[in-house]
Amino acid sequence: MAPNDLSRRTIRFVNVAHAADHFVLLIYPTAVIAIGPDLGLDYGALIGLSTGAFLAFGLFSLPMGWLSEKFGRRNLLATFFLGCGASLIALSFATTALAFGALLFVLGVFSAIYHPIGSAMLVSHTDQLGRDLGRNGVWGNLGAGLASGVTALIAAWLGWRAAFAAPGLVCLAAGVAFLAMVPHDGEDRSAARAPQTAPGAGRPALLLALFAAIIIAGGMTFNVTTISLPKALDERLGFDLPLALLGSLATAVFVFGALTQLTVGRLLDTKPLPLIFLGLASVQACGLAIAALSVGVPLVAGLAMAMAGIYGQVVVNDAMVARYVPAHVRAKAYSVRYFLGFTASGFAAPFIAWTHGIGGFPATLAAAAAIAAVILACAAAFYGVARAAPAPLPAE
């Protein structure tokens, strides 16, 4: 198979895997609405069982970069498809709380494969980094956005067991197709290009501290804002909307933010990364500050600004690893990046509960704005170091 054909196929499957990764983790929170009455189990106890899946999703992302050296990235991505498919089908046969908890944890372990491995595979096969990172981000958001609606429709028509089994069969089919159409990892197309020297590379402790703070704070603002946004609109919009319209408004804000990733991806191919990051960090902090101080239309505008900055930063974070980390350790770097981000974001729900109890959503959004200010400070420091020691953009 020609290298270009292999790269195109690999990127297509990586995009499908990104959508599947976010989709499979969000089946249970919707399906549980039907599971409780059917099995006579308490909703509160059932929904808590998903904690294991999300913990595994973050924790098990850490070793994946090291495992890829032993088993290969292609084989691990195939394991992702097949493992998620088998876990979902097993969940369709579950009848007890213990079975749901155990199988959701297993699903979380398999779903943890995607981000460090898929990101490294995309970067190694792309010939236009920003464009493909932006498109990949939209695929992930598409999976997350469709999960609840598709799960609800299948559960209503065919029952909640089918809501697990049908996506499980799709994952298994995708895994078989991936193994047949992508026979090997292929040559790392980025290996021939020397990575751009990171600004401040002569001060690695400073650079690592900045990257760690950016990833951890970014994980918090992402989850705090995305989790609280629908209820913040409900409480602070200033007038009553039917639930369907309220959900549509929230979806519109999310879609606006997600589409920003396409624009950011294009910009990364032509403009300096530190400058783009500084602009996005400014938009994110300002948007959250406006939302914290506003009601009605200004609140919606502030949240839309914040989501644009937050979703755009996801692309920038991945591009930082792609641009500044050598190819032979990139999968490990992505493992650490996602471990830090996903672990930090796991504290978002109790953080929302605590700040909302203090002062409602103005307090929650103000606290999120304060975290975004940390990101802005880090972006400004990164930009300052880059101006002091500029480096040319690599030929992506």
- What is the rounded CA–CA span in Å between residue 137 and residue 140? 5
| Residues in Cβ contact with 61 at an 8 Å cutoff, skipping those fewer than 6 apart | 112, 115, 116, 335, 338, 339, 342
Is residue 341 within 8 Å of residue 216, measured between CB atoms? yes
Candidates 148, 173, 178; CA nearest to 25 is 148
* Buried-exposed string 315-346: b where 16+ CB fall within 10 A, e elsewhere: bbbbbbbbbbbebeebbbbbbbbbbbbbbbbb
Check whether 243 has a pLDDT greater than 70.
no
- Per-residue pLDDT at 395: 40
* pTM of the full structure: 0.79
Check whether 282 has a pLDDT greater than 80.
yes
- Per-residue pLDDT at 379: 93
- Per-residue pLDDT at 394: 44
Please compute the mean of the pLDDT values over residues 200-223 and round it to a whole number: 79
Amino acid identity at 2: A
How high is the mean pLDDT of the chain?
Answer: 84
Please compute the mean of the pLDDT values over residues 74-102 and round it to a whole number: 94
CATH 1.20.1250.20 spans which residues of the chain? Answer: 3-181, 204-388
Fold designation for 3-181: Growth Hormone; Chain: A; (1.20.1250)
| Residues in Cβ contact with 301 at an 8 Å cutoff, skipping those fewer than 6 apart | 287, 290, 294
Is residue 315 within 8 Å of residue 258, measured between CB atoms? no
CATH fourth-level superfamily of 204-388 = MFS general substrate transporter like domains (1.20.1250.20)
